[in-house]
Structure 1
């Protein structure tokens, strides 16, 4: 099973743009190394503050409206993420309990697989598998 672990942002990291200390970066590097050595980490990145981001808003037309950050009015911004491949929910929870956080919140969501969609025909599944192979080759 694949899970996305979403690290929530806060006033300090998003609005003020505070960066992690050298000690925090070292701790996170050690944790990431454990994840990689265990073979469960597929990806993981920190994100810059929303002041450097933008959103596309759709409202029933084919044209999207671009809205530049920051998004101070948003209550739940994302500071970073991991994509982990583990055997089940319990394993991802155990891994993330070991993350070197002192405060804040993370959200964990299972990534949908083609098998999760009732309407995925064999042709759709094959097409998706081919796209994934191409993406991995990139």
Structure 2
């Protein structure tokens, strides 16, 4: 296994993409209590990740997203997911599945956290799966 050191920018891309997914799921089911439940559920997936994915997703500060522009966040997050896989394939190929699994688990757990998965959340999950394919 060859693992090259990730730059700060690459680490930020991986983290922003992963947390952006949770943001998109949370926006699909608005409400403070829903957001809180979803955030806690997603954080469990991130802390349960292995290897480099766990290191990237559980260290440093949390990314911030604009509350008034979820469409803009989606336009940033989905390509960032694809870019994240490219970064890992180039620098840490054995970590691709760990990262993908952590992001998908966080998205699914967030969607299920508040009264099950609604149609809007299912649509976000489908976009996330497509970006990670």
Could you say which structure has the higher helix fraction? 2
Q: TM-score, normalised by structure 1?
A: 0.36
Select the structure of larger CA radius of gyration. 1
Q: TM-score, normalised by structure 2?
A: 0.37
Could you say which structure has the higher strand fraction? 1
